[in-house]
Amino acid sequence: MKKKALICLATLGIGILLNSAAEAKASKEYVDIQITPARNLAAEANNELRADAAEMADLLNIRPVVEMLRTAQRSGKDMSASPKALQSARLMCLWRMFSASEEVRKVVAQINFDIAVNNVHLETLNNRKRVTNNLINTFNFTQNGVLGIVKNSLAIAALYPIFRQEIAMTSFGMSGCLPVINLYAPKLIYRKTTDGANMLSHVTDPGFRPEYANQSYLWKYFSSPIPGSNLKEPRREVILKHWEALKGLSATNEKQRDLMDGSNEKTRLEGLKTVSQRIEILHDFKTHVEEFDGALFELHQAVTNIQPGER
């Protein structure tokens, strides 16, 4: 029986270790992510579109038109004297790229607003922290001075020797305890908030879907997997796992998720750590949204910057 029990325990321990190792390996894949497809230099040498520009062309549903324009430009034709149909096709491409870029600007503006609001909350909490630290330090210096004066005045008059030692021990004990309290007091500083959902809910809320989802290029982009990547999840899930690996945000922990994205509009408490972490994640989200704009720029370059005779 003992032998069987030991074998079972050993098997269980090995299983736990292997599972932990697999989870650690999986989390490392999401620590540093790139949500745009990797470049294929060999394909680009053959006059093919960059991978990110090609994805944008497919996303905007203009891939055949883009290839037609590139072919016309490489042939050496004067684009200003090209047929009306070709000019109209070029205008359509530029218009869709402009619409997608405006959508990025709108989302980035909303993220910037959330960052600004949370920076105000962070400064408010930091002010409370500084006030608390200053009050504790002032009280520490005051009690040292007052109790020291009382002790020394009694010593001059040679009165109450035992009581004088009790005063000294009390002052010494408070001098040791108050700095420790001062160290941990900021962790007890919170603010009540009923702020609504912020832009992080677009990623953390599994049920989120914008009203204009069918017309949103950005939504399609974040709901699709990264072409050519080993990560097969949609970009939204990749970014969420990136935050889990990098910042410890747990999407399965509903309470923590509500603190981060504000999707629960009930009154809740949030401290310095929560607000600071939310600001960092908002900045990270903004960076990934702007990667979409970078891919749009590469597509724009591919459509407009091919000179006559260039290969």
CB pairs under 8 A, 24+ apart, for 139-144?
139/178, 140/174, 140/175, 140/178, 140/179, 140/182, 143/171, 143/174, 143/175, 144/171, 144/174, 144/175
Reported in sequence order, the residue ranges of the chain that DSSP labels E, i.e. its strands, are 190-193, 268-271
Q: Which residues pair with 192 in a beta bridge?
A: 269
pLDDT in the model for residue 292 = 92
pLDDT in the model for residue 82 = 64
Count Cβ neighbours within 10 Å for each residue of 115-153 and write b for 16 or more, e otherwise. Answer: bebbeebbeebeebbeebeeebeeebeeeeeebeeebee
pLDDT in the model for residue 310 = 43
Least Cα distance to 224 among 212, 215, 237, 235 occurs for 235
CB pairs under 8 A, 24+ apart, for 261-265?
261/197, 261/198, 261/200, 261/201, 261/204, 261/205, 262/193, 262/195, 262/196, 262/197, 262/198, 262/200, 262/201, 263/197, 263/201, 263/204, 263/205, 265/194, 265/196, 265/197
Number of residues that this document lists for the chain: 311
CB of 303 closer than 8 Å to CB of 90: yes
Distance CA 304, CA 11 (A): 63
Q: Spell out the per-residue pLDDT of the chain, length 311, in tens.
A: 555 555 555 555 555 443 443 344 445 777 788 888 888 888 878 888 889 889 999 999 999 888 888 887 777 666 555 677 778 888 888 899 999 999 999 999 999 999 999 999 999 999 988 888 888 888 888 888 888 888 778 777 777 777 778 888 888 888 888 888 888 887 788 887 767 788 888 888 878 888 888 889 999 999 999 888 888 889 988 888 888 887 667 666 666 666 677 766 677 788 888 888 889 999 999 999 999 998 999 888 888 865 444 44
CB of 204 closer than 8 Å to CB of 191: no
pLDDT in the model for residue 289 = 92
